[in-house]
């Protein structure tokens, strides 16, 4: 990536003009640094981070956790005395998954929702917790590598930290699902009763529902970035990296869904296993998004450290340090 950046600078004049402009501009959250400075550290960091391998490891663990978590959640719903809740859950899943993937799992989910199975509930909970904790632990190790932090916590304390972040993540995901599902029920009910004086009220409530859902996603990612690393960083809870990761997560998820639903015929090539491939790719892309957002925060830190080091070095110190170069 760094080589591509250098090639574009030398061969593409519009790209060079854009980079010259970014040398003069800053952005909220960059702590006064120029965009170009942060971008340089960011590109170099991504080039050296082996992001594909780390995202694959994280995605694998979360993929293993997905199915027992789904089994636990849907088995639990069977015990809840909620009328028509099954239909609303199906609507929610249909909104966040490609069409063919939803059709492949609908019958299985329907069977789980309609039958109370205590053994399946317990097994799903244990397996989901175990694999989810492994996934978060892989994320923590990736964060530590990016920040060059040495893990000082013992193995059980690191696992405990991963468990806490897993519970934190699960709670926010559950709240988001409930909020989206209940919000849809309320909006449909009010719309059926013709209680909206005009369309503006409906779209306003729709905006509030999705705003709160996105806010929970933002809190989830910010919490992972803030509490995950072994060495506490001097970041605000809501930061530039978590903002970028949230935006990229939404764009990646819905963009990929749009592509799968409209342009790709993976089900004709792979059959039913194509559903698993789609889910795996979604998790992989979002794992990569998390690492990209975290790398942006690290790049800002490194750019600040470089700036402070440069400002503290006097010409005399530089002369002693770099005898073959002159700085003024």
Q: How many Å from the N-terminal Cα to the C-terminal Cα in the chain?
A: 32
User: How does pLDDT run along the chain (328 residues), one tens digit per residue?
Assistant: 667 777 777 777 888 888 888 888 888 877 778 888 888 888 888 877 788 888 888 888 888 887 777 777 777 776 666 666 666 667 766 666 666 666 666 666 666 666 666 666 677 778 888 888 888 888 888 888 877 766 667 777 878 888 888 888 888 887 877 777 777 677 776 666 666 655 676 777 778 878 888 898 899 999 888 888 877 777 888 889 899 999 999 998 888 777 776 766 655 556 556 667 777 888 899 989 999 999 888 888 888 887 777 665 445 444 544 444 433 3
Residue 326 lies in a domain: no
101: closest CA among 287, 264, 284? 264
Gap between the Cα atoms of 113 and 244, Å rounded: 36
Q: In angstroms, rounded to a whole number, what is the distance separating the alpha carbons of residues 304 and 30?
A: 9
Closest among 244, 235, 254 to 291, alpha carbons compared? 244
Cα 10 to Cα 13: distance, rounded to the nearest angstrom: 8
Is residue 328 situated within a structural domain?
no
pLDDT in tens, 299-317: 888 888 877 776 654 454 4
Q: Give the tokens for residue 292.
A: 């990209």
Of 29, 48, 67, which marks where a domain is finished?
48
43 and 132 co-located in one domain = no
The pLDDT, as a whole number, for residue 196 is: 60
Q: How many domains does the chain have?
A: 2
Q: What is the pLDDT of residue 166?
A: 87
Residue 123 resides in a domain = yes
Are residues 147 and 298 in contact, defined by beta-carbon separation less than 8 angstroms?
Answer: yes
- Same domain flag for 188 and 221: yes
Please check whether residues 40 and 90 belong to one and the same domain.
no
* H-helix or E-strand spanning residue 1: none
Predicted pLDDT of residue 289: 92
Query: Looking at the structure, do residues 139 and 153 belong to the same domain, yes or no?
Result: yes
Measured CA to CA, the distance from residue 165 to residue 72 in angstroms comes to 19
Q: Is the dihedral of CA 50, 31, 17, 327 positive or negative?
A: negative
What was the pLDDT predicted at 21?
A: 85
pLDDT tens for 226-262 read 888 877 777 888 889 899 999 999 998 888 777 776 7
Give residue 272's pLDDT.
Answer: 59
> What is the model's pLDDT at position 245?
92
Same domain, 108 and 30: no
148 and 247 within one domain = yes
Q: Looking at the structure, do residues 239 and 251 belong to the same domain, yes or no?
A: yes
Q: Report the mean per-residue pLDDT for the chain.
A: 76
Domain extent, residue 113, equals 52-321
């Amino acid at each position: 990536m760094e080589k591509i950046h250098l090639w574009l600078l030398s061969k593409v004049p519009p790209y060079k003009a854009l980079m010259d402009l970014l040398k003069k501009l800053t952005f909220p959250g960059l702590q006064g640094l120029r965009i170009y400075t942060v971008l340089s550290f960011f590109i170099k960091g991504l080039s050296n981070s082996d992001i594909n391998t780390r995202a694959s490891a994280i995605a694998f663990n979360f993929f293993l956790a997905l199915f027992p978590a789904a089994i636990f959640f849907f088995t639990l719903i069977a015990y809840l005395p909620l009328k028509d809740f099954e239909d609303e859950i199906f609507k929610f899943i249909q909104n966040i998954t490609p069409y063919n993937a939803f059709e492949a799992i609908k019958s299985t989910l329907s069977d789980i929702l309609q039958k109370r199975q205590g053994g399946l509930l317990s097994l799903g909970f244990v397996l989901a917790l175990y694999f989810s904790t492994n996934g978060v632990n892989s994320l923590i190790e990736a964060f530590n590598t990016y920040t060059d932090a040495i893990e000082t916590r013992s193995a059980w304390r690191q696992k405990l930290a991963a468990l806490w972040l897993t519970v934190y993540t699960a709670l926010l995901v559950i709240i988001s699902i409930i909020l989206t599902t209940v919000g849809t029920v309320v909006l449909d009910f009010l719309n059926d009763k013709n209680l909206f004086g005009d369309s503006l009220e409906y779209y306003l409530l729709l905006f509030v529902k999705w705003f709160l859902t996105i806010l929970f996603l933002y809190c989830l990612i910010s919490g992972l970035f803030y509490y995950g690393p072994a060495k506490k960083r001097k970041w605000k809870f809501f930061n530039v990296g978590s903002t970028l990761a949230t935006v990229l997560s939404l764009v990646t998820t819905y963009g990929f869904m749009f592509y799968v639903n409209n342009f790709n015929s993976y089900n004709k090539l792979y059959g039913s296993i194509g559903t698993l491939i789609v889910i795996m790719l979604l998790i992989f892309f979002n794992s990569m998004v998390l690492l990209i957002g975290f790398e942006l925060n690290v790049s800002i830190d490194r750019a600040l450290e470089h700036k402070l080091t440069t400002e503290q070095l006097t010409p005399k110190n530089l002369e002693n340090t770099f005898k073959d170069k002159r700085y003024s």
